[in-house]
Each structure stands twice: as structure tokens, then as C-alpha cells.
Amino acid sequence: MQSAPGPETVIDGVRYLYFAGTSYLGLAAHPDVIEAGCEAMRHYGVHSATSRARFGTNPPVLAVEQEAAKYFGTDDAFYFSTGYVANHILVSALSVGVDAVLVDEAAHYCVIEAARLAGPAVTTFHHLDPEDLARKARGHRSLLVLADAIGPSTGVLAPVEDYLKVLKETHDARLLLDDAHGFGVLGPDGRGLFDELGLWSRVNHPVAGAGTSLYVGGTLAKALGGFGGIIPGTRGWVNQTRRASHYFDGASAPASSAAGATARALALVGQQPELRASLRRNALRLRAGLTSLGLTVPAGASAHIGVVAGDAGNMRRVHERLKERGIMVPYVDTYSGLPAEGVLRFAVFANHSSAQIDHLLSELRTIL
């Protein structure tokens, strides 16, 4: 890539109409975000060159935690360098005292790896399958269950309500979702899948004896236009996550430029609800268009849509034909959570115009 990601993006020297990646709210190239990142680096250097537990909590890092708490409507938030480790950190806090850990067999790499950090043996359950979860959960008094909130390549939402029905049988169940692709996209307040389901007030807010407890971690590097991982929650819970793993005292604090840009991006998303409204409109327009072409799209309003269009050879052909016409839609055949034949992965941004989406659909109509 030789430009910032956006509706038009340069790849291998060619400018494409771009429906790929994860810059869903279209902020990666926003001038205010870039300027805030530059300003933070000028002022505080590349990074603080020490861990958060020493002197690493510089003003831009602190600003991300404050802006994230405001955005997520929580007391506090823990900010770290990459969303990939969000689950690693959360599992360190959540696996204490559980007698089994269950993970969706096709969850993102970082979810599976994090599950393996937990003490007890890890068992997989069939992808998105509450009945298999019920079978594997039977007989356990305390459980930690991990899954993606949204399939990163498919856009399929986890059947959370069905999981919760199953987990009612367990004395102490903890459900942890990775919502890397839902933060900034789903829910009336843009807080992700739990927000979409009206469950946000219970999330990262452990209350003893209140039924299945809900946890989430994610990234600010996708829709929310910044960079780094985030765990929002009550002050007590967030502090527990800071202490539970050694990330807070054993890793360099996030880079100043990343933190400065991220704090500004979060503030913009809060101040400009029209960004999320536009993303949702575009996600629904693309879904409706793909459906009208006879393709099956996942339910919901995720900003990325994995579509199976014939076999792998056909999807490679569709990808190549679109590319020849200046449109980039990747064919993804290697990633976690894919069907055997792979998918054409469409991503839409808040700053795609309706005309750009319609152009994609009309080209696709002639190629399929």
C-alpha cells in the first residue's frame, strides 16, 4: 500500500476504489488525526521508553484512556499497543478459579492463543454452535467461554443470546468476546455487539451472583481510526486487568504518535455521530445490493461482509476482474474462521459515497 487507506487507495502503484481492510469510519487519513499524532511525537518523542508501571503513562496515553472511557461510557479504560493482546490480558484476569475453558474452534488466532494461556485444559466448541457449547459446558461449575463477536473475514455475528441461554445452567460462567470489528460499528452508541444487543451495562462490570458475566476487549485500530488495544470497564475491573498480566509493567507504553492520533480519532467519533450513521447506511446499502445480486450476506450491520460466490476459482476470477476495472475486493482463503472455499471480503467505510458503492455493485453484476 502506497497511500493511506481510504475509499481510494494505492496498492502496488495502482489507485483502486478500495473495499478492503478495516478503516471503517474513514479516519486513518483524517488531517486532524494525523496532526494530533505528529504533535504528540514532537512533544513526547517516539515513545516514553519505559513501561506503563514506571513513567510510561505520558499525556497522550492518558488521553486515550480518558477518551475511551468517555466513548464507552465507563469509569476507565486500559490502553495498550495492540488489540492482539487484549484477550491475552483478559484471560490472565478471567481464568483464575475456572475449571474449564471453552473456545470457538474458528475464533481469531489471538483468541485461541489467549485461551491456551488459561490454566485448565482448553476445549473447542463447533463454530457459532450453541448446542455444541451446551454439550461441552455440561457438568462444569465454573467456565470461561471465548469467541469472536464478529467473524473478522465473514462479518457473521456470534449468537450471543443463544450462548447466554446455554450458560444459564452454569453456576459461574464468564463470556469473553473479541469485538475488534464491532467497536465503532455496532450498537446505538457504537460500543459493539453487546451494545447492539442491549447488554452493554453488564459488560466488563463483574457483579457476584448476577448470572453469566460478560467481558469484551478490542482494538482502536479498525473502525475507531487510531491504533492499539483497549479494555473499557469499571475502575475496579480495569485495574484488575492492568495487574493480572505483566503487560502493564513488562511492555513499552504505546507510541506517542499512535496515542496522540488515537485520542483525537476517539474524540472525533464522539463529536460526529454522523460518521457512524453514514457507516451504517453504507453497510446496509452494500448488503442490500449484494443480496439483490443473489448473494447471501450475513445478518446485521457489520462494516465487512464475507460472501461465498461459487468455488475458490470463481471467487479468484471475480477478484481479478474487479481489479482489472480498478476495484479492490480481496479474495481471502487463509485466515481464521473461513469457510473451506474462502470468501470475497467486502469492507465499506463511512466515507465511501453512494456512487462508489453503486459502481462496485454494477461492475459486480456484469462479472458474477
Ligand X SMILES: Cc1ncc(COP(=O)(O)O)c(C=O)c1O
# of chain residues touching ligand X (CB under 6 A): 12
| Least gap, CB of 221 to ligand X (angstroms) | 4
| Least gap, CB of 219 to ligand X (angstroms) | 3
Which of the stretches 5-13, 50-58, 77-85, 156-164 binds ligand X when contact is defined by CB under 6 A? Answer: 77-85
For ligand X, the closer CB: 178 or 195:
178
| Least gap, CB of 38 to ligand X (angstroms) | 21
By CB under 6 A, tell whether 330 contacts ligand X.
Answer: no
Residue 319 CA to residue 160 CA, distance in Å, equals: 33
By CB under 6 A, tell whether 123 contacts ligand X.
Answer: no
- Give me the amino acid identity at 140: H
Residue of 219, 278, 282, 351 interacting with ligand X (CB under 6 A): 219
**Binders of ligand X in range 90-109 (CB under 6 A):** 108
Residue of 221, 238, 259, 308 interacting with ligand X (CB under 6 A): 221
Count Cα atoms within 13 angstroms, Cβ side, for 234. 13
Residue 367 CA to residue 358 CA, distance in Å, equals: 14
For ligand X, the closer CB: 110 or 364:
110
Count the neighbouring beta carbons within 10 Å of the beta carbon of residue 280: 17
Supply 262's cell numbers: 488515537
By CB under 6 A, tell whether 180 contacts ligand X.
Answer: yes
Which of the stretches 43-51, 82-90, 185-193, 246-254 binds ligand X when contact is defined by CB under 6 A? Answer: 82-90
Place of cell 475511551: 68
For ligand X, the closer CB: 125 or 170:
125
* Sheet with 304-307, edge to edge strand ranges: 304-307, 343-347, 331-332
C-alpha distances (whole Å) from 92 to each of 26, 207, 242, 296, 324 are 33, 18, 10, 38, 47
The answer to whether 52 and 245 are in contact (CB under 8 A) is: no
Residue 174 CA to residue 336 CA, distance in Å, equals: 23
Q: For residue 78, what are the contacts with CB-CB under 8 A and spacing of at least 6?
A: 65, 89, 230, 231, 238, 241, 242, 248
Residue 27 CA to residue 36 CA, distance in Å, equals: 12
Residue of 18, 84, 125, 163 interacting with ligand X (CB under 6 A): 84
Q: For residue 139, what are the contacts with CB-CB under 8 A and spacing of at least 6?
A: none
Residue of 65, 67, 76, 178 interacting with ligand X (CB under 6 A): 178
By CB under 6 A, tell whether 110 contacts ligand X.
Answer: yes
Q: Which residue is nearest to ligand X (CB)?
A: 83
By CB under 6 A, tell whether 182 contacts ligand X.
Answer: no
Which of the stretches 67-75, 79-87, 271-279, 353-361 binds ligand X when contact is defined by CB under 6 A? Answer: 79-87
User: Which of 335, 332, 261 has the alpha carbon at shortest distance from 107?
Assistant: 335
Site string for ligand X, 137-166 (x = CB under 6 A): -----------x---x--------------
Please classify residue 179 by burial: count the beta carbons closer than 10 Å to its beta carbon, then call 0-12 exposed, 13-18 middle and 19+ buried.
Answer: buried
| Least gap, CB of 157 to ligand X (angstroms) | 13
User: For binding to ligand X (CB under 6 A), which residues are involved?
Assistant: 82-84, 108, 110, 148, 152, 178, 180, 219, 221, 229
